Amino acid sequence: MLPTPKIVKLAAGAGEGGTKLTAFDKALLTAGIGNLNLIKVSSILPPACEYREEFEVPPGSLTPTAYGALMSDRPGELIAAAVGLGFSHDDYGVIMEFTGYCDRDEAAARVKAMVEEGFAVRGKELKQVIVRAVDHRVERFGAVVAAAVLWY
């Protein structure tokens, strides 16, 4: 059984590369999570998980992460990614991710609405929403990523 994460931070980044994969790698590096082994998780924020602006995770760590990423090879295309945390008053919360062909403001608004809907369908009262978003105008190969990084 894996331990339950106790802290969470948000990360977002964009990058250009010689291929879609290297653009994605650059976006991860720009977000500050490029040297971690991300384990993709779904959308539940553990109870009592504390939000922190920053914390260190050792390079190479297996890191539970809820993330959205988008890559493009269409020069001039605008791509965006956003992630949102929804906190309840005394219980678990939700994490939502969004990627699309829009600017960061639209991505942020859409992910915020998804957090609100996630609480509504669970019949839970939303205490706080925190969102991080990024956009990027593709030059050759571009990528964006937005992530909720969970740690112990």
Token duo for residue 95: 């994490």
Choose, from 50, 53, 77, 97, the residue flagged as catalytic.
Answer: 97
Whether the Cβ atoms of residue 143 and residue 15 lie closer than 8 Å to each other? yes
| Residue 88 designated active-site | no
Choose, from 42, 53, 54, 56, the residue flagged as catalytic.
Answer: 42
Choose, from 43, 77, 106, 116, the residue flagged as catalytic.
Answer: 43
Choose, from 35, 37, 125, 139, the residue flagged as catalytic.
Answer: 37
Q: Which residues make beta-bridge pairs with 81?
A: 99, 134
Active site amino acids: 37, 42-43, 97
